[in-house]
Copies of this chain bind each other. A is one copy, B any other.
């Protein structure tokens, strides 16, 4: 049950989503593939409430359970949470992320739709960066002004 090769961010059993191999986002002990919710809290900074809520709304596939019904998160789950964290930073609404999660669960034939969704997000991110750089210019002008004035 141990998975030593880099785990895919996707939940689909695709042969090689090696695209998400390099950046291990949160510190994570090696040689382990089963974490309690409080461990995941420590890794991700999310609260246990939020993790359970993500599962309820379908933003995460059903997480494995121990024989007593407690959640046991896999490395794959952690990778997924990393992606969700990134998308959250872009301002993508949770509903859209849920949509993406659904596409992933539906299997490989949704690759096209997934790509579309990500490309739209990409455009949003680029626009967002441009806005922020614009704002940066305004801030710099004002800061310069206040530095001279004071």
Contacts and interface: CB of A to CB of B under 8 A. Distances in A.
Contacts of A68: none
Contact of A132 (B23, B89, B118, B119): B89
Interface of A is mostly: helix
B122 A136 contact: yes
Contacts of A115: 143, 146-147, 150
Interface of A: 9, 14, 17-20, 23, 83, 86-87, 89-90, 108, 111-112, 114-115, 118-119, 121-122, 125-126, 128-129, 131-136, 138-147, 149-150
Given A20-B145, A115-B146, A122-B143, 7 more contacts: A17-B145, A19-B142, A19-B144, A89-B132, A112-B150, A114-B146, A118-B143
